[in-house]
Structure 1
Amino acid sequence: MNEIIFFGWNQYPILIKNKPDEITKPIQFKFENENENENENENKNEKQIKQIVTGGFATIFLFENGKAIEYLNENDSYQNPEKIQIEENIQKKNPKEFINISSLIEDTNDRIIQDIVSGYQSIYLLTSNQNAYGIGLNQYDQLGFDSETLEKTKKPILMMKNVSKILSGNYSSCVFLLNSNQELFGCGYNVYGQIGLGESRKEIKIQKLTQIQNIPKGKIIDIQCGYFHSIMLIENENENGKRKLYSCGNYLYNGLGKNKNTYEFTEIKSSLFEENDNFIDFSVGDEHNLILTSKGKVIGFGNNLYGQLGTEDTNYQSIPIQIELPKLRFNEEISNYHISCGDNRSFLYYSPPPFSNLEEDLIKLI
């Protein structure tokens, strides 16, 4: 069950064979590796994809058995993908590539990692005690501290307590922290107003975690950020769990789903968003976005220079448009499908529960 739908810049000729550099029409391919048939009795779940993470420099396929295969976009990695086995003793095998980040937290009682979120050049950790830590580059104050005194850090620094969610994006130099009272705070790169503080707050950098006012009513499910914009998914319990999308930032590459700049989170509207349909999953790339609905529709908008919207052309899409996909192979719940957007490519893949337990405090530093 390793079939995946792909469209965009084809940087993976070893995976997607005999296809052009730009794949503007969604195609389906099967993930294969040379060891797949070594053991015919191998449990099929061990080959099942759990997650696809794609950013600007790499795409990682994570499997249920804990194996991750990474395809880099540099040097000769097209021909020689780097294979990574996530194990408890991985530091002994390759200490230059892996580090146990949780062991760097000074408070020994706060070293159980509940979630890891990646920004463009920063990593954020959420511990079981609901404390948020930041590590990496702080060029745009994305760690919540003055970058003139703290340019970067190799050790996790405490950003905020009582945090329920950390929200950012692969191309984002800003971050959002949501506390248990559903109060939202943000800091970092804000030159395009992508933190959503309003038209009067368009500083290049928001140094300290600042509460964001005028948040639409409802429960914040997720926020994902591109380079120019941010998109928020909100669920309204008073409307039988109906979900709505809101965006803010600069419309330069049409990532807002509207034709004007918006400096507060405002609703994205479209005739494609049916009243009896709902949003299951969404993903924000550098400048494009994809949405998956409960009726199995995939809707996209934004930059399409490499065909990453799958519209069979390379035209920008300023407003949401439905993507025609190959017929889905699996007769399963649509909630088991997921979307992952990179800078100029997109994946739609199937990943059913339950997920396996991995060592979540092991992370590759890129």
Structure 2
Amino acid sequence: MMKNVSKIFSGDTSSCVFLLNSIQELFGCGFNYHGQLGLGESRKETNIHKLTKIQNIPKGKIIDIQTSYYQSIMLIENENQDQNPKRKLYSCGYFPYNGLGKYRNTYEFTEIKSFLFENDDDILDFSVGYYHNLILTSNSKLIGFGSNYYGQLGTGDTKDHKVPIQIELPKLRFNENIYNYHISCGYHKSFLYYSPFSPFSNLEEDLIKLFERKEFCDISFKTENGEIIEAHKLILKYRLNQNQNQIEKLQEIISKKSIKESNQIFEIIYSNRIINPILYFEIKEIINSNEKIEETIKRIYLNENEKDFIIERKEKQYKFPKLILIMRSELYRGMFLSVTNDKSNKVADYSELSNKSFQIFEYWIYSNQIKDEIQIIFQNQINL
């Protein structure tokens, strides 16, 4: 069970811990006096000394769990929807602080419901304090419940709230977006702070999906200790002179290196930067120079049929100039160099990318910048 742990959830004021494995099974242990482990009505022991599987958890992907001394709140993403998956919050534990409005402890994770959550509303951020909780939604709502003895809910008074209540947000400035705001609850205090959203987390996951496709990642290298490194064959074709003998020589070098050294070697190959001078000296004779880039640019520039690279997304096609793609990424240089004899347009299916990540990708192609927030109206202007 412990070998496949993907996430661990706890908190500064928590008395229990949750572990999530790779197949979305949830386990917990610790203090359970108020039912904050979500084990159900049949498990009301005060202390759970061994990791115990949590049964009857809500359907969907577990994104986050935050816990305190009295309650636990779980964020679930509904995977049944193809687009814009819905995220909901579920709570269990001591009744004044779990936001369910029930005057009894709740022993299993139950959805936090309120008229404040509209149909098109989504959970952007949430935080669990010692006695109170705050939720930020996509409709610019700050929702809170629990103890307010010290004014930690930000309502302007010290009245406790056993059911969710909307709290007034500071007025957003013209260049600010609700997606850039975050909340953090402490012992008897709360913070609302502005921090530009980083798109790299989702974008990274999407790009990993692309790299895992066979045409992008279909060659294996074994290190001296038998660890397997999966490499991107199209990039290697370009970086290693398109020569199978050079790939075999690289395999021989990797077979005598540790996993750490091997990863550094591939970093050198992919980035064309000197990461480790000793390793670079050893492998530089098998790495191609950048002279072929000029040749490829000339070839593509002069050939009308090769100027555009077509990306398909859900029955729509997007055209990107190959010249720009070559300048942006080693991946595309490798792709286009590996189809030297193919004079037709290359078509790739990027449906795996989320809408947001594709917008970020498209903006990056044309501007060579990663933009925090891509507005749909701006997207349409680019397409025009």
Q: Provide TM-score, normalisation by structure 1.
A: 0.52
Specify whether residues 354 and 244 from structure 1 end up closer, same or farther in structure 2 by C-alpha distance, changes over 3 A only.
Answer: closer
Please state which structure has a larger fraction of its residues in helix: 2
| In the alignment, structure 1 residue 265 sits paired with structure 2 residue 109 | yes
2:70 to 216, 223, 228: 228
1:255 to 98, 108, 119: 98
How far apart are 1:352 and its partner, in Å? 1.6
CA contact (8 A) 1:243 1:278 kept: yes
| In the alignment, structure 1 residue 195 sits paired with structure 2 residue 37 | yes
2:19 to 147, 169, 177: 177
Specify whether residues 185 and 349 from structure 1 end up closer, same or farther in structure 2 by C-alpha distance, changes over 3 A only.
Answer: same
SS, match of residue 307 in structure 1? coil
Take 1:236 and 1:353, find their aligned partners in 2: how far apart are those partners?
22
CA contact (8 A) 2:70 2:94 kept: yes
Amino acid across the alignment from 2:127: S
How far apart are 1:257 and its partner, in Å? 3.2
Please state which structure has a larger fraction of its residues in strand: 1
Amino acid across the alignment from 2:97: N
1:325 to 154, 169, 185: 169
How far apart are 1:329 and its partner, in Å? 3.2
How far apart are 1:261 and its partner, in Å? 1.6
Take 1:205 and 1:236, find their aligned partners in 2: how far apart are those partners?
31
Unaligned residue ranges in structure 1 (runs of 5+) = 1-158, 357-366
1:137-173: CA deviation from partner (whole Å, max 9, x where unpaired):
xxxxxxxxxxxxxxxxxxxxxx922111111122101
| In the alignment, structure 1 residue 305 sits paired with structure 2 residue 149 | yes
Amino acid across the alignment from 1:203: E
Take 2:129 and 2:12, find their aligned partners in 1: how far apart are those partners?
8
Take 1:160 and 1:296, find their aligned partners in 2: how far apart are those partners?
40
CA contact (8 A) 1:255 1:303 kept: no
Take 2:47 and 2:75, find their aligned partners in 1: how far apart are those partners?
24
Unaligned residue ranges in structure 2 (runs of 5+) = 201-384
| In the alignment, structure 1 residue 280 sits paired with structure 2 residue 134 | no
Amino acid across the alignment from 1:194: Q
1:205 to 47, 53, 70: 47
Take 1:194 and 1:330, find their aligned partners in 2: how far apart are those partners?
41
What is the identity percentage for the equivalent residue pairs of Structure 1 and Structure 2? 72
Show the counterpart of 2:87.
243
Amino acid across the alignment from 2:156: E
What does 1:32-71 correspond to in 2, within 5 Å? none
Take 1:331 and 1:183, find their aligned partners in 2: how far apart are those partners?
41
Amino acid across the alignment from 2:25: E
Show the counterpart of 1:292.
136
Take 1:188 and 1:285, find their aligned partners in 2: how far apart are those partners?
18
1:318-354: CA deviation from partner (whole Å, max 9, x where unpaired):
1100001221236234222110001111001111244
1:222-279: CA deviation from partner (whole Å, max 9, x where unpaired):
111121111111010224411111111111x333332232100011110000001100
Show the counterpart of 1:110.
none
Show the counterpart of 1:352.
196
What does 1:102-113 correspond to in 2, within 5 Å? none
SS, match of residue 161 in structure 1? helix
SS, match of residue 289 in structure 1? strand
Amino acid across the alignment from 1:329: R
CA contact (8 A) 2:13 2:129 kept: yes
Amino acid across the alignment from 1:318: K
Take 1:322 and 1:348, find their aligned partners in 2: how far apart are those partners?
15
Show the counterpart of 1:75.
none
Amino acid across the alignment from 1:319: V
| In the alignment, structure 1 residue 168 sits paired with structure 2 residue 10 | yes
Q: If you compute each CA radius of gyration, which structure gives the higher value, 1 or 2?
A: 2
Q: Provide TM-score, normalisation by structure 2.
A: 0.49
SS, match of residue 18 in structure 2? strand
| In the alignment, structure 1 residue 214 sits paired with structure 2 residue 48 | no
